[in-house]
Structure 1
Amino acid sequence: MNGSAEIHPARNLGMLIGNGLSLAFNPELNIRLISEEIIRRVRQDAGDKDADAIATAMQRAAAATGGGNPMLDFEVLVGAFVTEGSFMERLHELASYIDPSDAELSAAFERIASFSESLRWRGVSHVLEVVAERTVASLDLKADLNTFVDLVLNNYGGTITVGNLNYDTLVLSSLMENHASEFCDLALGYNPATISFDGGQRFSIYKLRTALNFPNARRVRLLNLHGSLTWWRNSADDSVYKFPVEEVRRPTIWSTIRELDYDEGWYPEVVLANQSSKVHQVLRPPFSLAYDGLRRGLEMSDDWMVVGYSFRDVSVNALLREAFDTKTNRPNVLVVTKGEFPTRGEIEQAFSWSLAQGASASWLRIQRDVLTPTENRARNAN
């Protein structure tokens, strides 16, 4: 954001952060670049003999689901196997009704479903490993992000609810480093458990909340709508825990996932799926709780800020629309983006705003002249 910000000492803020913010402060988190790296690693896993055939087969399988280009979006690439697994489960159920005595057919469906699930977890582990590696920003970029976070927090003195769509820990790390005393997330801050994940040193983990019982003194609430690198589910008690940031940056934690069956021990808790599957995944906890938390935060705020979001996620758009419709007085919505997209019309459509209701300029402001920190420094140097 350029220029000085208005100061609202007693006002609440509802905030939504998309991939554009992570990309601004670390260009290596570009979705296309991550997708290309995942394909490269899948090929590397396969070895010289079958690398091309396996990588091509995965891309074709993903493209066949009709969710988009798997080379440009890792959600399409990995999420396809969620869709295929669900389809196989429905076919299996149908087959059991038609011919319940066919044990061979039933076993075949179970093998296919297990194979699809193992492919999904292999893909998920590669995605999150790449994101973890690229989450570490340079000192300059880290300083720019801290400045941005400081600017927001210093200008709003009320409750700040932040819905984060990114798996990375850039915002989390900034808040932990500079605003630890006033920030909280969905992790409980007490009664930690201690584990050793892959034979390494033991470390403390915190269970995630099952209710929106944030401490009153913590006015900044970070909600990872689609999970985080730090969110891991324990198959033993089916609870989700928050791992320390430094632990999820170790490569061995991700390679361990690829060596286990998905229902063994610990596995990442993220929504990584096509749109058709994503709308169902976000209905279950802890994602549903994060969505509820952001919805409440938006409803109690007269100022909304949307940063780096494309307005293309069906579930997120529905949340924004529902919160928007509950407001007697329209909130002041600031959309911070770079370039010509999303258009004003696309943003209006996400909020179900029609021309018959008047001009959206009365409540919607779009700031498009936002440069990436690297570009901004270069510009100032000339």
Structure 2
Amino acid sequence: MAGLKSANRSEERLGIDRIDTEGNALVDVRNLAVVAGNGLSVAFSNDLVLGTITEKLKNELSAIAPNGDQVLQALAKIAGRIEDDGSFDEGDFEQLVGAFESQAALLEDLADLTGLAGEGNTSLQASLLEVRGFAGDLLKKGTGIILKTILDSAPTGWDATAHMHPFFRQICHEYSGDITFANLNYDSLVLSCLAMLGLPFCDLADPRRPAQIKFTDDEAGEVKVVGEYEGWSLRDALDFPFNKRIRLVHPHGSLTFWKDMNTGEVVKIPLNALRTHNIFTDLDVNSKNMIPAVVLANSREKPRRVKEYPFDLAYKAMAHGLSTSDHWLIVGYSFRDESVNIELRNALSRKTVKPKILISTFGDELTEEMVKDSIGWGTEHGPSVQNIYFDREGVEGLEQRPSWKIFTSS
């Protein structure tokens, strides 16, 4: 696979590169692929429930506008038109905010056609681009509100996250091979836990490439540095170090990933920088040189966005982890993201020996048929009961329940 520079360097690589042509492990070491959705974040704090974050977005936008209710109605109407497949959910902040990315792109394309309008098309093009800029500002404002809400809502410190520590310890203990942890959430809770517990992990940040990061404002034509931090450039290949067998990747970006609009470089900055620099609050004000590197998009735009760097690299890491692991742990994921489902289906189709899959969810809303349809489990794969297991009590305490013991037994 492209980007796997370290392939075949060592036979002691814990099996990640020792696979057959069908993607099945050839060694005795057990690898694990984890795909984690919002349910994992909620296990840390109920303040991270999808609907709660969306309500915060609505309240913030309503407070900004003098006619708040009308603004929210217009927001829902625009998003509903974009999500034209009947899947619009007013409680999903990605659909509400992501609508403006679609609108901005459509307006830009429309501006390219103004030559068909004959004389006067220059002013028409300028008007369209001005409206496009307005849609872009709304996108940045909504993104800032959501990411700041997630940052402020995420618990910090040992005591606040201790209830989840046994889960991460047990994963590392049970699987002695490589663990690919694809975190679909924007928060840094998984990263914080792995760091606090001293587990052998790495992420897309490249410690060999330190970066000086400057946040600037262009106010009244004068560029001012409003924050300067030490960070790291992201990897440009899946060249994870041998001794860091837990590989944490964020396929949809992270609070800590930021893109320099002048150079195109994507960097990771420390969480404390976000806590001390109020960049989230006024993303749409003036001309910020740095923007969050996150895929905050609706179902129409997301397939395009995940093909961009660094999300494409994280997707490759997730796909590689699924292909080289005979155990898949899917935690708190709704199976509503088609881009992720495609990777699950592709990995399943490549494996002759089907993986054991544990679905950790809460309640009965997620059905077995929904999961099988999403990952492409058909009758040709045999009875799913032999491979797909459900735990419906939430991820906290999962490592102590019978479903975990069955999943990890072989």
Q: TM-score, normalised by structure 1?
A: 0.88
Q: Kindly indicate whether the alpha-carbon contact (under 8 Å) linking 2:211 and 2:267 is maintained by their aligned counterparts in 1.
A: no
Q: Kindly indicate whether the alpha-carbon contact (under 8 Å) linking 1:192 and 1:204 is maintained by their aligned counterparts in 2.
A: yes
Of 190, 193, 198 in structure 2, the residue corresponding to residue 179 of structure 1 is 198
Q: Secondary structure at 2:308's aligned position in 1?
A: coil
Matches within 5 A, 1:1-382: 10-46=29-65, 49-66=66-83, 71-96=90-115, 99=118, 102-137=121-156, 141-179=160-198, 182-197=200-215, 202-250=228-276, 252-261=278-287, 264-370=288-394
Greater Cα offset, 346-355 or 20-29: 346-355
Q: Secondary structure at 2:33's aligned position in 1?
A: strand
1-side partners of 2:322 and 2:228: how far apart? 39
Q: Kindly indicate whether the alpha-carbon contact (under 8 Å) linking 1:41 and 1:126 is maintained by their aligned counterparts in 2.
A: yes
Q: Kindly indicate whether the alpha-carbon contact (under 8 Å) linking 1:59 and 1:70 is maintained by their aligned counterparts in 2.
A: no
Q: Kindly indicate whether the alpha-carbon contact (under 8 Å) linking 1:158 and 1:219 is maintained by their aligned counterparts in 2.
A: yes
Partner residue of 1:380?
Answer: none
2-side partners of 1:207 and 1:371: how far apart? 32
RMSD: 2.3
Q: Kindly indicate whether the alpha-carbon contact (under 8 Å) linking 1:9 and 1:158 is maintained by their aligned counterparts in 2.
A: no
Q: Kindly indicate whether the alpha-carbon contact (under 8 Å) linking 1:206 and 1:242 is maintained by their aligned counterparts in 2.
A: yes
Q: Which runs of 5+ in 2 are unaligned?
A: 1-26, 217-224, 401-410
| Matched residue count | 362
Greater Cα offset, 277-286 or 143-152: 143-152
1-side partners of 2:208 and 2:116: how far apart? 48
> Deviation at 1:141?
4.7
Q: Secondary structure at 2:72's aligned position in 1?
A: helix
1-side partners of 2:119 and 2:327: how far apart? 57
Partner amino acid for 1:185?
Answer: D
Q: Kindly indicate whether the alpha-carbon contact (under 8 Å) linking 2:141 and 2:282 is maintained by their aligned counterparts in 1.
A: no
Q: Secondary structure at 1:11's aligned position in 2?
A: coil
Q: Secondary structure at 2:54's aligned position in 1?
A: helix
1-side partners of 2:138 and 2:209: how far apart? 35
Deviations 1:210-252 (A, max 9, x none): 1111111111100101000000001121010001012223461
Q: Which runs of 5+ in 1 are unaligned?
A: 1-7, 377-382
2-side partners of 1:100 and 1:315: how far apart? 44
Q: Secondary structure at 1:274's aligned position in 2?
A: coil
> Deviation at 1:92?
2.3
Greater Cα offset, 88-97 or 127-136: 88-97
1-side partners of 2:67 and 2:166: how far apart? 47
Q: TM-score, normalised by structure 2?
A: 0.82
Deviations 1:86-130 (A, max 9, x none): 222232233335658721221121111111111100100011000
2-side partners of 1:138 and 1:41: how far apart? 28
Q: Kindly indicate whether the alpha-carbon contact (under 8 Å) linking 2:40 and 2:395 is maintained by their aligned counterparts in 1.
A: no
